[in-house]
Amino acid sequence: MSSLALFLLVVALAALGWLMARARATAFRRGGSAPRAHSLPSYHGWYVALWTAVPALIFIAVWTPLSANLVMDEVMSAPAAASLPPFEMQRVAILREAREIAEGIRPGGFHPESNALAPAYADALSRTRTMGAVVALLLAFAGGAFAFTRVSPHFRARTRVERLVMAALLGASTIAILTTLGIIASLLFESARFFSLVDPLEFLFGTHWSPQIAIRADQAGASGGFGAIPLFWGTIFIGAIIAMLVAIPLGLMSAIYLTQYARPAVRRWMKPLLEMLAGVPTVVYGYFAALTVAPAVRDFGKAIGIASATSESALAAGLVMGIMIIPFVSSMADDSINAVPQAMRDGSLAMGATTSETIRRVIVPAALPGVVGGVLLAVSRAIGETMIVVMAAGLAANLTANPFASVTTVTTQIVQLLTGDQEFDSAKTLAAFALGLVLFVVTLLLNIVALRVVKKYREAYE
């Protein structure tokens, strides 16, 4: 019996348990033996259904991957397995074929060995499956029967079910947290391996980045290859400088327009339109940057006499990234401007200040902490952004302030280090984890600081 069929069978059993328990609970309600039963009949139903399904499903979830190993062990110990070729890829192909023959998906194999192996495979498969099915069904029956015997007028099925629901919800949120912790742990672990090959100081403060060289064994961890400063600089140059030079003024000004000048009707259609920018997939921004903006920037650079202007430039990536970030900045600024009390605005207008004076001298200064918080969040997003820089910024690890030159960023290099055939323990690939760790730490800090600033600001006007 396949896992899917088994799963469906268990669910069907649970449904049956649900119906039986409910019928029983309804019966003793009707029978008048307990006019005030503790729980509604359906809770008894759920109680039995959960006891039927949950243990059996947990068993299936554990058994399915485990049984694959058991099958493999058994097949490999069969006499026919002795004739398998030593070459890994061929072996895998033959085993897959044997499995398909055993399951009746294909009539015969391309490799003669697979035909020989098929009976052993079929044997092992049916044995483990039967075993799994028997245990799962036993568990389902036992659980269901146990729960069913407890169905009585005074049994607190509702409380039990609620508790189980809570446990399930807790479990769901724990999964997200555990996953994050797992990712952090792996980042830390792999970075530690990297730093055993490359001096952390060299990595953090070195200015020479050329990880390709270090692939050769005689140069593993060679000094000079992993100075990440050009990457950090490129990231800051594009994400925190050029992009912000675009996003801050445009975002702030559109927020000011929307909150202070636009009539409600205008605001109603303009705000969603602006926020639509945030819904454009980053890969679209990426090719917009690479195919439209970058050539224009290069031509402009050449036109104003910058010979070094290339078709991959910090400026092109930064400009497009800035556009992408606008809705982010403007919606944060919008919120903080709206949080400035109307009384503040009235106070200024009553002094004879014009609307723009009021905005410049009172509203923007009052909203500033909130805006700064928003900008920090925007920066943290910009430096983690990948698609645009991969497509438009380039790969050359230049340490330059020339916006027409190509620079590279942390995210671009991570992609670069991990694409293609890689050994997963060379300094080159491990460097990606170290870069990821740096990015993670910086982004985390930016977020913490930003949220603090914004929170403080909110409190100030409550």
When asked if residue 347 is in the footprint of other proteins (CB under 8 A), the reply is yes
| Binding residues for other proteins restricted to 274-313, rule: CB under 8 A | none
Query: Min. distance of Cβ 271 from other proteins in angstroms?
Result: 17
Q: How far apart are CA 460 and CA 350, in angstroms?
A: 23
Chain positions 365 to 424 lying near other proteins, rule: CB under 8 A, are 365-366
Is residue 459 at the binding interface for other proteins, with CB under 8 A as the rule?
Answer: no
The partner residues of 209 in beta bridges, in order of sequence, read 226
Which one of the spans 9-17, 51-59, 267-275, 357-365 is the region binding other proteins (CB under 8 A)? 357-365
Question: Residue from 352, 419, 421, 462 that binds other proteins (CB under 8 A)?
Answer: 352
Instruction: Find the binder of other proteins among 4, 154, 343, 462 (CB under 8 A).
Output: 343
Give the range of 101-109, 146-154, 337-345, 391-399 binding other proteins by CB under 8 A. 337-345
The residue (of 368 and 395) whose beta carbon lies closer to other proteins is 368
Beta carbons of 144 and 13 less than 8 angstroms apart: yes
Tell me whether residue 202 or residue 357 sits nearer to other proteins (CB atom).
357
* Pick 297 or 362: Cβ nearer other proteins: 362
356 near other proteins, rule: CB under 8 A:
no
Picking from 115, 145, 85, 99, the residue whose alpha carbon sits closest to that of residue 2 is 99
Q: What is d(CA 205, CA 228) in angstroms, rounded to the nearest whole number?
A: 7
Q: Does 354 bind other proteins (CB under 8 A)?
A: yes
Residue of 215, 349, 395, 449 that binds other proteins (CB under 8 A): 349
| Among 10-18, 146-154, 249-257, 336-344, the segment contacting other proteins (CB under 8 A) | 336-344
Chosen residue from 172, 176, 304, 350 binding other proteins by CB under 8 A:
350
The values of phi and psi at residue 37, to 5°, are -60, 150
**Least CB distance from residue 364 to other proteins, whole Å?**
11
Residue closer to other proteins (CB basis): 160 or 345: 345
Interface characters, 256-275, with other proteins (x: CB under 8 A): -------xx-----------
* Of 105 and 265, CB closest to other proteins: 265
Cα gap 10→27, rounded to integer Å? 25
Provide the minimum distance between the beta carbon of 352 and other proteins in the complex, in angstroms, as a whole number.
4
Binding flag, residue 337, other proteins (CB under 8 A): no
Piece in contact with other proteins (CB under 8 A), picked from 147-155, 269-277, 323-331, 360-368? 360-368
d(CA 424, CA 418): 9
Under DSSP, the state recorded for 404 is T
Q: Which residues contact 155 (CB under 8 A, 6 or more apart)?
A: 38, 39, 44
Contact residues for 280 (Cβ-Cβ < 8 A; gap 6+): 324
Residue 30 or 263 with smaller CB distance to other proteins: 263
User: Phi, psi (5° rounding) for residue 209?
Assistant: -120, 110
Between CA 39 and CA 132 the distance in angstroms is 35
- Rounded to the nearest 5 degrees, what angle is found at the Cα of 455, between the Cα atoms of 451 and 459? 175
Identify which of 239, 251, 275, 242 has the alpha carbon closest to the alpha carbon of residue 372. 251
Per CB under 8 A, which region of 175-183, 281-289, 320-328, 355-363 contacts other proteins? Answer: 355-363
Q: Which stretch binds other proteins (CB under 8 A): 70-78, 109-117, 197-205, 344-352?
A: 344-352
Supply the minimum distance, in Å, between the C-beta of residue 452 and other proteins: 18
From 54-62, 236-244, 350-358, 405-413, span contacting other proteins (CB under 8 A): 350-358
Partners of 226 in the beta sheet? 209
Task: Say how far apart CA 149 and CA 276 lie, in whole Å.
Answer: 58
- Continuous H helices in 31-109: 41-77, 88-102
Residues in contact with other proteins, total (CB under 8 A)? 21
Region near other proteins per CB under 8 A, out of 97-105, 195-203, 250-258, 339-347 = 339-347
CA–CA gap between residue 233 and residue 271 (Å, rounded): 34
Closest CA to 129 of 5, 273, 247: 5
Judged by CB under 8 A, which stretch of 92-100, 187-195, 202-210, 338-346 contacts other proteins?
Answer: 338-346
Phi/psi of residue 106, nearest 5 degrees: -130, 150
Q: Which residues contact 30 (CB under 8 A, 6 or more apart)?
A: none
Yes or no: say if 239 and 382 are a contact pair by the CB < 8 Å rule.
Answer: yes
- What is the x/- site pattern for other proteins, positions 214-253, by CB under 8 A? ----------------------------------------
Chain Cα centroid distance, residue 132: 34
Cβ–Cβ under 8 Å, residues 220 and 355? no
Beta carbon nearer to other proteins, 85 or 341: 341
State the CB neighbour count (10 A cutoff) for residue 39: 22
Q: For binding to other proteins (CB under 8 A), which residues are involved? A: 263-264, 341, 343-354, 357, 361-362, 365-366, 460
